[in-house]
Amino acid sequence: RAKALAADEEFIPSEKAPLLLNFNENSLGMSDLAKEAVIRCLDGAFRYPDALRSELAEAIAAKFDLNERQVVLGNGSSEIIQATIEAFSFAAQKRVEPVQLIVPDPTFDFAELYASSLGISVVKVPLTQGSLAIDLEAMKAQADGFDGFSIVYLCNPNNPTATITQASVLNPWLHQENSRTAFIVDEAYAEFVTDPAFRSAVENVKTGSPNVVVTRTFSKIYAMAGLRVGYGLADAKTAAMIRNFVSIDNLNVAGAVAALASLKDEAFFERSLQSTNLARKIVTDTLDELGIRYLPSEANFIFHKIKGEHQLYKERMAQAHVFVGREFAPAVGYSRVTLGTPQEMRAFVRVLKSFRQKDWI
Ligand code: PLP
């Protein structure tokens, strides 16, 4: 892995050490304090995680100035997305109300996958042409025109585009009193955002919107994807409803202590941001130099144009031992590349430039 190399050494991707830029992980690796906490917790890991769960819920509540009853812990934020869909659809079904899920297209597809497995119909609303923004107006029209309960999944910043939906356009809908619409605002990448037009929907939770659930994760900025810790923030009653649908004792002690240590490690948080920002600059400088269009990235990945078939581009990258994201139809002609360490991204741009010499990109 690039991390094991000296800072000035080049990372050369190989079969044994491929460059994994396909799943929006944070290859900086987790905080040293979190690693130490994991090692230290092992002697006590024969006990159930109840005490640590409470401690973590309290720490998260304090971070957002919320009550701990407003925090739902998840086995990753994925579990919160799943449980929220289950909770709202179960409640609607009890009222004998039809339910639908409305999602932008493309977006992170777990909401769609969970809803489909529950037999909930999914309405996919294409991103706007050109800027590939979430088309809130069209999504709202779908909710308003539906004779039943709508669960709206909004990913902010969106995956795969890495772009934000501005608070000025999102807030009027989130604020609207409407007992027939619930929102899951997925803020998995919120910590990376610098654009002041973004505002976290946690503000809506604070102002008492019972139908807004915000999901967050330790997988991205804190580089803890493999330890599976995420959470949801909602009105206390809504949070209790969602809690009924998560697996009991869903956190393990290693994840819990790592999350607690990460929250305290402000230096790591800064380093993680700085590293991602530098990685982003390395890539955007090269994309600019090569005249390749990309969307403004507010997350740890970039959605950029490619030439020709995505499958061929992906295969050629794989031959160079670089793994990039899949194609995100209907946004064809684009590729999503995760921002690894600066060293890793220097390797990525070297491959990209070699592709340009071959006229592949
Ligand atoms: N939400 C979005 C938008 C993601 O891109 C991802 C993972 O890539 C997740 C949620 C899943 O995160 P977690 O690891 O917390 O389940």
Nearest ligand 1 atom, CA 155: 3
79 alpha carbon – ligand 1 mean position (Å): 10
pLDDT tens-place string over residues 207-232: 989 999 999 999 999 999 999 999 99
Q: What is d(CA 133, CA 329) in angstroms, rounded to the nearest whole number? A: 14
Q: Which CATH class is domain 32-264?
A: alpha beta
Q: Which atom of ligand 1 is nearest to the CA of 217?
A: 15
Angle value at C-alpha 284, between 159 and 158, nearest 5 degrees = 10
Cα–Cα distance for residue pair 77/232, rounded to 1 Å: 7
Name the residue ranges covered by the structural domains of the chain: 2-30+267-357, 32-264
The ipTM, to two decimals, is: 0.99
pLDDT at 178: 84
pTM above 0.95, yes or no: yes
What phi, psi does 256 have (nearest 5°)? -65, -45
Under 8 Å CB-to-CB from 303, ≥6 apart: which residues? 132, 160, 161, 162, 163, 294, 295, 297, 331, 334, 335, 336
Name residues contacting ligand 1 (CB within 6 A).
Answer: 24, 76-78, 108, 155, 159, 186, 188, 217, 219, 225, 230
283-292 confidence digits (pLDDT tens): 999 999 999 9
Per-residue model confidence (pLDDT) at position 2: 47
| CATH code given to domain 2-30+267-357 | 3.90.1150.10
175: number of Cβ within 10 Å? 13
Contact at 8 Å (CB) between 272 and 254? no
Residues of the chain with pLDDT under 50: 1-2
Q: Are strands 334-338 and 301-305 parallel, antiparallel or unpaired?
A: antiparallel
Give the helix, strand, coil percentages of the chain, each rounded to 5. Answer: 45, 15, 40
Which atom of ligand 1 is closest in space to residue 228's alpha carbon? 14
Q: Tens digits of per-residue pLDDT, 59-87?
A: 999 999 999 999 999 999 999 999 999 99
Q: Which amino acid belongs to residue 55?
A: E
Report the pLDDT value the prediction gives residue 140, as an integer from 0 to 100: 97
